[in-house]
Structure 1
């Protein structure tokens, strides 16, 4: 389980990612708010994060890094518009997290093919673990 500071860092990263295309869409905001609720971060704290510069906290375990990558990928698709800046940034973030670039590419491809832009958790984990073999 993430510490409170890790949760704040995850949300800050999501906010920065949502703003990469120069605007925050309502659906992106709603998605970030939903994640904040899931992480048990109150709305007042979440709103303050839009004004703060992100303080990076390194995510230690691989499953948490994969989950954060997937959250960012969902956020990337939530507004229905896929920007080139978002695509470049998500790959940069994933590499900085130490995730396998081929697995990231596979996950993004599977999401693009999915009508809901979502993939099953087992498929997500399998994409990253098949690269280990």
Structure 2
């Protein structure tokens, strides 16, 4: 189970990513709000996250770290504009999360190739699993 503090950190990372290109697009905001609502983050806390710097929490579970990375990668594509700074932010965040750099690059590449900008779960986790061997 994810704690409320972890939920706030997840949303905070999403907010940081959405601002990397200098503009918070409406579709990005809507996506973040949808995730926050799904995670049952209180509206007042959600609004406050836009005003304070985010504290990165690294999950112990690799599954959770991959899931978080992928959620952010999806956000970077929701405005139909992928900025180079977003790509760099995702790469650096993936490293901070302790994910394999080759896997990070491959997932981002697979998302770029996909017409929907999505990657099937089996492929996503398979990419990270490959690097364990």
TM-score range, shorter chain: over 0.9
Aligned to 1:132, what secondary structure does the other structure show?
coil
Q: Aligned partners of 1:55, 1:103: CA distance in 2, in Å?
A: 24
Aligned to 2:104: 104
Aligned to 1:13: 13
Aligned residues: 133
Unaligned runs of 5+ in 2: none
Q: Is the 2:58–2:65 Cα contact (8 Å) retained in structure 1?
A: no
Moved over 6 A (4+): none
Q: Is the 1:76–1:86 Cα contact (8 Å) retained in structure 2?
A: yes
Q: What is the deviation of 1:5? A: 0.2
Q: What is the deviation of 1:23? A: 0.6
Q: Aligned partners of 1:112, 1:58: CA distance in 2, in Å?
A: 26
Once the two structures are superposed, what CA deviation does each residue of 1:6-51 show, in whole Å capped at 9, x if it has no partner?
Answer: 1101110110111011110011001101111221213332122111
Q: Aligned partners of 1:121, 1:74: CA distance in 2, in Å?
A: 13
The 10-residue stretch of structure 1 (20-29 or 47-56) with the greater mean CA deviation from structure 2: 47-56
Aligned to 2:30: 30
Q: Aligned partners of 2:102, 2:36: CA distance in 1, in Å?
A: 29
Aligned to 1:79: 79
Aligned to 1:119: 119
TM-score (norm 2): 0.95
Aligned-pair Cα RMSD in Å: 1.1
Unaligned runs of 5+ in 1: none
The 10-residue stretch of structure 1 (50-59 or 110-119) with the greater mean CA deviation from structure 2: 50-59
Q: Aligned partners of 2:66, 2:123: CA distance in 1, in Å?
A: 12
TM-score (norm 1): 0.95
